[in-house]
Structure 1
Amino acid sequence: MKQFLIFVQKEFYHIFRDRKSLLIIILMPIVQIILFGFALTNEIKDSDIAVLDESKDVATAEIIHRLDASRYFNVARYLHSQVDIEAAFKTGKIRLVVIFQNKFRENLLHTNHAQIQLLADATDPNTATTVTNYATSIIRDYQNDLTTNTPLPYQIEPQVRMLYNPQLKGAYTFVPGVMAMILIIISAMMTSVSIVREKEINTMEVLLVSPLKPLLFILSKAIPYMFLSLVNVSTILIVSVTLLEVPINGNLLLLMGEALLFITTAVSLGLMISNVTSSQQTAQMISLLGLMLPTLLLGGFMFPIESMPKPLQVMSNIVPSKWFFIIVKDVMIKGLGFKMIWKETLILFGMTLFFLAISFSKFKTRLA
């Protein structure tokens, strides 16, 4: 154990000696969180919605048919009561709930006035705004069709509520996304570079003939960067809560535990990269281009995955950041517990074991 701690201490000395890199590691999350205050919007298609129809008349059936027939919505679930609404949103698949009041058609015919309530999942404010605008437009088209056929001034007024993020702050989306991007890049890149550096300066052979076992040697390289990544997570959360007013609605310990799991996934990915590269520049390029672009494009926080072509939707499942983004959004913004994110957690755990298995097998092959 004493030898292992000495190797860990040596790695910390390497990190603190390179002050420029250390400054980048510490400051980059803060700069990214503060400056990454924009979100690119795109057309959203085939969003799953739920319907609570307390009237069940001809008018509501026609509006539901128009919503389902459009290219923007799929009526995925019919709810039976108000109690089912929260459960529908907690599945993470429902973007919008459409609620028709009781005696909808009767109120429309006798008072010329009826209400439709639209409940949107505003953890992604851009998506919530877009889908409510689509639904409002479809309802308005139905109202215009009624007006052309009758002189009565029928009015249908959609009532819109944004759950989880009523102010529609973009920070609710980009904080989880930037957290995933920062952790995957720093943890994977710095871990891979630190091991490849030993190859370049020809000290790897000296380290391998030391009494320290290969497993402990790899852990001694990974632990310092896992520690720095946890510092980055803490910094991001502090900046998010204090400056951006993004709440932590869920369990903080659960959030930190999931962050540690994702950091472990990223570090294991960095170890795998270090086994297939022989220069620091190559390791940096693979980490930056090979990880940052998939995180930005397929991670789910800049572009809705359900709007992408099917091949890209399937490809997004192998991007670790996608699953961590879902976890952070569900725990931090929605306040959900472990039983709602166990699947994503299991996927990250499986990815970690896969990357570690490849890393250790390659490492043993190199030793042989």
Structure 2
Amino acid sequence: MRQFLFFVKKEFYHLVRDRQTFFILLCLPLALILIFGFALTNEVKNSRIAVLDNSKDKATRAIIDQLEASRYFDILEYIPSNDKLEATFRSGKIKLAVVFPPNFNQELLHTNTATIQLIGDASDPNTSNALINYATAVIMDYQAGFRNAAEIPLRINTEIRMLYNPQLKGSYNFVPGVMAMVLMLVCAIMTSISIAREKEIGTMEVILVSPIVPMRLVFAKMVPYFLMSVVNIGSILLLSVYVLDVPIQGNLVLLILECMMFTIASLALGLLISSISNSQQVAMLLSVVVLFLPTAMLSGFMFPVENMPAVLRFISHAVPARWFYTTVINIMIKGLGFEYVWKETLILAVMTVFFLAVSILNFKTRLE
């Protein structure tokens, strides 16, 4: 036990001695969660639009006011005529134009039907489609408050209900994904260079003649990064709740335990890469290619797994971040219990044991 604590202390010295790296490991998770939570979001907010009001009556004014009051739109310009519409789009200043025909209110009152034209800039089809959907929702909201059964014939309306995230906040999606990326970054990538560093600077010979067994050495290298990851988990959860307004709907203890499970799996995977690498550069390259990119691309964080080709869906099963991302979504966002995440937990546990076993066996082989 004394030997084990000695190597843990040694790893702490390696970590703290490089103050720049230590500072980055503590501050990078906070920066990532803030950037992804506020700047990089799949929500469409404050989009610049233009209005062409050929009617200028109280109905059009009311709809324009509702559009302007929405957090999705920022009315940049009131276009005087149809001739100026295309030029406004060509300038790149707007993404959507709302066009009211002449006599809009009069037509709505007398015929019970009126048309509003929504023109989107489809050079970015996803954004254009989202803006049109938002504008349609605002218009339908006005119609629901305006009409009554005596004036307008009965119509079939669709009622939309969004579960778990009724405001469609992008942070609900990004927080679990950033947690997976940060833990993989701190744990796997940093530990992947630990053993390789020993080989490169020549201290591996000292370790080889020491009486410590490979299992204890592997665990000793994991402890400092595990403790730092626990600090990062706490800071991410605090920022998520109090800064990004992402509530923890499920059991907090279960969520923390799942984060620790993924942390250990990431540490074990990083040590496995480290044990088969002869230099820090090779270890870092393998970490980026084998760990970081699959975490970002195949975990379901940025792209839905179900939309991927069958080959990529199959490969994604070997990415630990996929199972962790699903677990965090179920616990933190949906408020589900362990009975809904036991399968993902079991898969992560099996991966952790496998990575640790291979790392220890591979290191033991090098000792002989």
CA distance in 2, matches of 1:4, 1:364: 16
- 2:221 alignment partner, SS class: helix
CA distance in 2, matches of 1:295, 1:154: 50
CA distance in 2, matches of 1:366, 1:174: 41
2:246 is equivalent to residue 246 of structure 1? yes
Code of the residue aligned with 1:192 in structure 2: it is S
Code of the residue aligned with 2:344 in structure 1: it is E
Deviation at 1:39, TM superposition (A): 4.1
Structure 1 match to 2:79: none
Structure 1 match to 2:164: 164
Deviation at 1:289, TM superposition (A): 3.0
CA distance in 1, matches of 2:19, 2:200: 20
CA distance in 2, matches of 1:291, 1:178: 14
Matches within 5 A, 1:1-368: 1-37=1-37, 38-39=40-41, 155-368=155-368
Code of the residue aligned with 2:190 in structure 1: it is M
- 2:336 alignment partner, SS class: coil
Deviation at 1:40, TM superposition (A): 5.3
CA distance in 2, matches of 1:7, 1:165: 46
CA distance in 1, matches of 2:357, 2:247: 37
Deviation at 1:361, TM superposition (A): 1.8
CA distance in 1, matches of 2:215, 2:167: 49
CA distance in 1, matches of 2:153, 2:362: 74
Given that residues 295 and 321 in structure 1 are in contact (C-alpha distance below 8 angstroms), is that contact kept between their aligned partners in structure 2?
yes
Deviation at 1:271, TM superposition (A): 1.1
CA distance in 1, matches of 2:216, 2:270: 16
Given that residues 36 and 174 in structure 1 are in contact (C-alpha distance below 8 angstroms), is that contact kept between their aligned partners in structure 2?
yes
* Moved segments of 4+, more than 4 Å: none
Q: Which runs of 5+ in 1 are unaligned?
A: 42-125, 138-151
Given that residues 208 and 214 in structure 1 are in contact (C-alpha distance below 8 angstroms), is that contact kept between their aligned partners in structure 2?
no
Q: Which has more strand, going by share of residues? A: 1
Deviation at 1:21, TM superposition (A): 0.4
TM-score w.r.t. the length of structure 1 is 0.69
Structure 1 match to 2:64: none
- 1:160 alignment partner, SS class: coil
Structure 2 match to 1:120: none
Deviation at 1:153, TM superposition (A): 5.6
Structure 2 match to 1:95: none
Given that residues 39 and 302 in structure 1 are in contact (C-alpha distance below 8 angstroms), is that contact kept between their aligned partners in structure 2?
no
CA distance in 2, matches of 1:12, 1:315: 35
Deviation at 1:156, TM superposition (A): 1.6
Given that residues 42 and 170 in structure 2 are in contact (C-alpha distance below 8 angstroms), is that contact kept between their aligned partners in structure 1?
no
CA distance in 2, matches of 1:336, 1:364: 42
Deviation at 1:208, TM superposition (A): 2.1
Deviation at 1:231, TM superposition (A): 0.8
CA distance in 2, matches of 1:309, 1:39: 25
CA distance in 2, matches of 1:296, 1:39: 15
CA distance in 2, matches of 1:367, 1:299: 36
Deviation string 1:5-32 (CA, Å, 9 cap, x unpaired) is 1211111111111110011101111111
Q: 1:174 and 1:241, CA in 2 relative to 1: closer, same or farther beyond 3 A?
A: same
Deviation at 1:288, TM superposition (A): 2.1
Deviation at 1:290, TM superposition (A): 2.4
Given that residues 40 and 303 in structure 1 are in contact (C-alpha distance below 8 angstroms), is that contact kept between their aligned partners in structure 2?
no
Max Rg structure: 2
Code of the residue aligned with 2:192 in structure 1: it is S
Code of the residue aligned with 1:340 in structure 2: it is Y
Given that residues 184 and 291 in structure 1 are in contact (C-alpha distance below 8 angstroms), is that contact kept between their aligned partners in structure 2?
yes
Deviation string 1:128-170 (CA, Å, 9 cap, x unpaired) is x98xx7xx99xxxxxxxxxxxxxx9662211111111111110
TM-score w.r.t. the length of structure 2 is 0.69
Code of the residue aligned with 2:317 in structure 1: it is N
Question: CA RMSD, aligned part only?
Answer: 2.5
CA distance in 2, matches of 1:229, 1:19: 17
Deviation string 1:301-327 (CA, Å, 9 cap, x unpaired) is 111111111111111111110100000
Given that residues 218 and 360 in structure 2 are in contact (C-alpha distance below 8 angstroms), is that contact kept between their aligned partners in structure 1?
no
Given that residues 300 and 322 in structure 2 are in contact (C-alpha distance below 8 angstroms), is that contact kept between their aligned partners in structure 1?
yes
Q: 1:314 and 1:40, CA in 2 relative to 1: closer, same or farther beyond 3 A?
A: farther
Given that residues 196 and 274 in structure 1 are in contact (C-alpha distance below 8 angstroms), is that contact kept between their aligned partners in structure 2?
yes
CA distance in 2, matches of 1:18, 1:237: 27
Deviation string 1:281-303 (CA, Å, 9 cap, x unpaired) is 11112212321211111110111
